[in-house]
Amino acid sequence: MKREREDWERTYHKTLKGLEAMINVQRIMKDIKKLAEETSMTVTEMEGTILIASINNWTTNAMNITQMTEDL
């Protein structure tokens, strides 16, 4: 009887350790997902900044070409 109880206790503790490991993996995955979302937002912001800079550069170039044409 004592032996059987000890076996069940071992099984119980192994199960608890397995559950703890699964919870830790879920927590890590949640953190990774959060980081991925933050990275995605940063990349989106960078794309917007690059697009604005590109449009500004295009406008400046167009104005410079127009001015050169007028000067000629």
Q: What is the DSSP annotation of the chain?
A: -HHHHHHHHHHHHHHHHHHHHHHHHHHHHHHHHHHHHHHHHHHHHHHHHHHHHHHHHHHHHHHHHHHHHHH-
Q: Is 64 left (phi over 0), alpha (psi -120 to 50) or beta?
A: alpha
Ordered by start, the domain boundaries in the chain are 1-72
Per-residue pLDDT of the chain (72 residues), as tens digits, is: 888 888 999 999 999 999 999 999 999 999 999 999 999 999 999 999 999 999 999 999 999 898 887 777
